[in-house]
């Protein structure tokens, strides 16, 4: 993860736009997606030196709840790294009125320089969600046994609320907390507030405000995306 903390802002990493989890499907399904964003933000920190990014991927979902996917994005870490390529998979299911999701994701940087330690790493996650009419709540924990640059165990906790208006526009608020077992004083929180919707059936838009807890950095990000297949 190329951006372990905002205190190391010259480094950066990435995660999927909006979410790395694949959508569940009523039958076996493959869906593609492409997106253009004004600033690729991961857990509060830019992955593109505050510049734009283009991304895309494919998701496979089975009616049993098993899913897998691949996703890639342009990045700018201030070195020779220009690309992130993630592979992920898991199992999503419903228990009563609760949605559950368990999986793993491999963060890869195919063209990253070898100096300075290993950049690629694994992360394992579990998530829970519950909807009450137009209001939805979710929480997720992600754990890496050896984080970016072989920095040791790291955990990310996040939770959020979303409300969908009748017109199909959704407003959501999220908070996340990053903790690093072997990096004393590096823990931090990040916050975001977003507004999103769909235009022309399968073209999505998202306007989002991100803020960090320790140094006050903040940013507004606009993203447009399109899905196909499925």
Domain ranges of the chain: 6-229
Distance (Å, whole) CA 100 – CA 139: 10
- Which residue numbers in the chain have pLDDT < 70? 1-28, 115-117
Is CATH 3.40.190.10 the right assignment for the domain spanning 6-229?
no
Tokens of 147: 């984080």
Scanning 54-94, the segments in alpha helix (DSSP H) are: none
Distance (Å, whole) CA 105 – CA 144: 10
Query: Number of C-alpha atoms within 13 angstroms, CB side, residue 32?
Result: 5
H or E segment to which residue 222 belongs? strand 218-229
Q: In this structure, are residues 230 and 31 in contact, taking their beta carbons and an 8 Å threshold?
A: yes
The 8-class DSSP code of residue 152 comes to -
Query: Number of C-alpha atoms within 13 angstroms, CB side, residue 25?
Result: 15
- What does the pLDDT read at residue 1? 52
Q: Can you point out the beta strands (E) in 64-217? A: 66-74, 83-95, 98-108, 121-132, 135-144, 154-164, 170-180, 188-199, 203-212
Scanning the chain, the segments in alpha helix (DSSP H) are: none
Distance (Å, whole) CA 171 – CA 178: 24
- What does the pLDDT read at residue 96? 96
Beta-strand relationship, 218-229 and 121-132? unpaired
- What does the pLDDT read at residue 146? 96
- What does the pLDDT read at residue 116? 58
Tokens of 130: 């519950």
Distance (Å, whole) CA 160 – CA 176: 9
- What does the pLDDT read at residue 13? 26
pTM for the full predicted model: 0.86
Output the DSSP codes for 114-129: STTS---EEEEEEEEE
- What does the pLDDT read at residue 181? 97
Q: Left, alpha or beta for 97 (phi > 0: left; psi -120 to 50: alpha)?
A: alpha
């Amino acid at each position: 993860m190329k951006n372990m903390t905002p205190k190391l802002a010259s480094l950066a990493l990435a995660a999927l736009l909006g979410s790395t989890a694949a959508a569940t499907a009523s039958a076996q399904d493959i869906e593609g997606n492409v997106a253009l964003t004004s600033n690729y933000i991961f857990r509060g920190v830019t992955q593109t030196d505050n510049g734009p990014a283009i991304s895309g991927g494919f998701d496979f979902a089975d009616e049993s709840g098993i899913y897998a996917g691949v996703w890639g994005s342009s990045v700018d870490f201030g070195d020779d790294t220009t690309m992130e390529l993630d592979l992920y998979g898991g199992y999503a299911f419903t228990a009563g009125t609760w949605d559950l999701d368990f999986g793993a994701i491999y963060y890869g940087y195919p063209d990253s320089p070898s100096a300075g330690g290993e950049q690629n790493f694994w992360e394992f996650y579990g998530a829970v969600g519950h909807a009450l009419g137009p209001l939805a709540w979710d929480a997720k924990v992600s754990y890496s046994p050896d984080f970016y640059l072989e920095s040791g165990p790291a955990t990310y906790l996040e939770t959020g609320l979303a409300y969908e208006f009748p017109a199909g526009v959704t407003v959501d608020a999220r908070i996340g907390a990053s903790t690093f077992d072997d990096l004393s004083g590096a823990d931090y929180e990040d916050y975001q507030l977003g507004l999103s919707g769909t235009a022309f059936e399968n073209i999505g838009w998202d306007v989002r405000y991100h803020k960090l807890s320790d140094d006050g950095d903040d940013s507004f990000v606009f993203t447009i995306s399109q899905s196909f297949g499925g």
